[in-house]
């Protein structure tokens, strides 16, 4: 983006060139300052700032600043911004991507490596002992549970996923010591999942919960893997939470695969060979 502005300099009017130079000198400040201060710093009028943004190919100042924040690699952080009803497609694109990146970076900086290591150890041990691993979730989290079951199934583990509350309670009732239930929830307040967690724990199974800190479910599990993000639960269907949960499952699956070791490679290779006949040449 900055290279594009540099290339456009000769074709810009003198006043717009001053705005361009302001961007190039300090893109971080430009992305955060109001139009009045930008105009004062560039010694131009406010309409000139907007004209500059359009001259270099953007819809206006708002669109330009959103793209600038996403393109500057240092200083301007990715922040969670709510999608508004009057957002243009470009605004929606930038906000959805930035919200995802912000959640991932927040998780990278705050996640407990020791809790993840303990969860990986539990899952690998459950597999070694030949015990069951079950994934529970409802709604969006039910989709994550299915994805988790698929990832761990490919590792040769005995797994199943349930998104129906009655099935979760029935299955949890049959768990035994040595089994493991992985319970995934955005809010951590879903009654069906709480019931399943309690039953699994009473039966002696280990319960790993992936959910928001401070929630009832977070307190109910044998081990809590925090999945915190700035997204509200009620304003619109959760987007970031699902991706964050999928990320945590990927970390767990990768860690368990490494624990299993070289013996896993043969099984995956054989699986891929047998799947070749399912594809067109």
Residue boundaries of the structural domains of the chain: 13-77, 110-276
Strand, helix or coil at 160?
strand
Q: Which two tokens stand for residue 258?
A: 């490494």
Residues 248 and 223 sit within 8 Å (Cβ to Cβ): no
Spatial separation of the C-alpha atoms in residues 187 and 176, rounded to whole Å: 27
Q: Which among 68, 61, 91 has a CA at the least distance from the CA of 5?
A: 68
The 10s digit of each residue's pLDDT in 83-92 is: 777 888 888 8
Considering only CA atoms, which of 100, 159, 103, 87 is closest in space to residue 127?
159
Question: How far is CA 103 from its chain centroid?
Answer: 6
pLDDT score of 76: 44
This prediction has a pTM of 0.71
For the segment 120-129, what is each residue's pLDDT rounded down to a tens digit? 999 999 999 9
Q: How many beta carbons lie within 10 A of that of residue 21, not counting itself?
A: 15
CB 192 within 8 A of CB 222: no
Residue 277's DSSP bridge partners are none
Q: How far apart are CA 115 and CA 248, in angstroms?
A: 12
What is the structure's pLDDT at 74?
A: 46
Q: Which CATH architecture has domain 13-77?
A: Orthogonal Bundle (1.10)
110-276 is classed in which CATH architecture?
3-Layer(aba) Sandwich (3.40)
Token pair 């691993």: residue: 133
Each residue's pLDDT tens digit, 154-170 = 888 889 999 999 999 99
> Going residue by residue through the chain (281 aa), what tens digit of pLDDT does each one get?
787 788 888 989 999 999 999 999 988 889 889 999 999 999 999 999 999 999 988 888 988 888 887 676 544 455 566 777 788 888 888 888 888 888 888 888 778 888 999 999 999 999 999 999 999 999 989 999 999 999 999 888 889 999 999 999 999 999 999 999 999 999 999 999 999 999 999 999 999 999 999 899 999 999 999 998 776 654 555 578 899 999 999 999 999 999 988 777 677 777 777 778 888 87
> Could you tell me the two tokens for 99?
């919200």
């Amino acid at each position: 983006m900055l290279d594009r502005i540099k290339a456009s300099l000769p074709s810009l009017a003198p006043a717009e060139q001053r705005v361009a130079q302001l961007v190039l000198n300090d893109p971080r400040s430009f992305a955060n300052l109001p139009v009045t201060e930008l105009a004062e710093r560039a010694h131009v009028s406010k309409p000139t700032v907007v004209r500059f943004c359009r001259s270099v190919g953007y819809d206006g100042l708002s669109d330009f600043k959103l793209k600038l924040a996403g393109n500057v690699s240092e200083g301007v952080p990715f922040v969670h911004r709510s999608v508004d009803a009057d957002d243009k497609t470009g605004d929606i694109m930038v906000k959805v991507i930035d919200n995802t990146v912000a959640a991932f970076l927040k998780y990278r900086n705050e996640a407990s490596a020791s809790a993840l290591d303990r969860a990986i150890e539990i899952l690998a041990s459950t597999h070694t002992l030949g015990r069951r691993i079950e994934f529970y979730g409802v709604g969006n989290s039910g989709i994550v549970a299915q994805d988790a079951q698929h990832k761990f199934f490919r590792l040769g583990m005995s797994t199943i996923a349930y998104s129906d509350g009655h099935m979760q309670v029935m299955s949890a009732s049959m768990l035994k010591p040595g089994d493991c239930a992985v319970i995934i929830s955005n809010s951590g307040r879903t009654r069906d999942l709480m019931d399943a967690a309690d039953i699994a724990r009473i039966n002696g199974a280990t319960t790993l919960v992936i959910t928001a800190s401070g929630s009832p479910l977070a307190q109910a599990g044998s081990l809590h893997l925090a999945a915190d993000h700035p997204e509200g639960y009620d304003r619109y269907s959760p987007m970031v939470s699902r991706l964050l949960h999928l990320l945590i499952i990927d970390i767990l699956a990768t860690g368990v695969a490494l624990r299993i070791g070289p013996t896993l490679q043969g099984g995956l290779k054989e699986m891929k060979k047998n799947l070749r006949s399912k594809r067109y040449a």
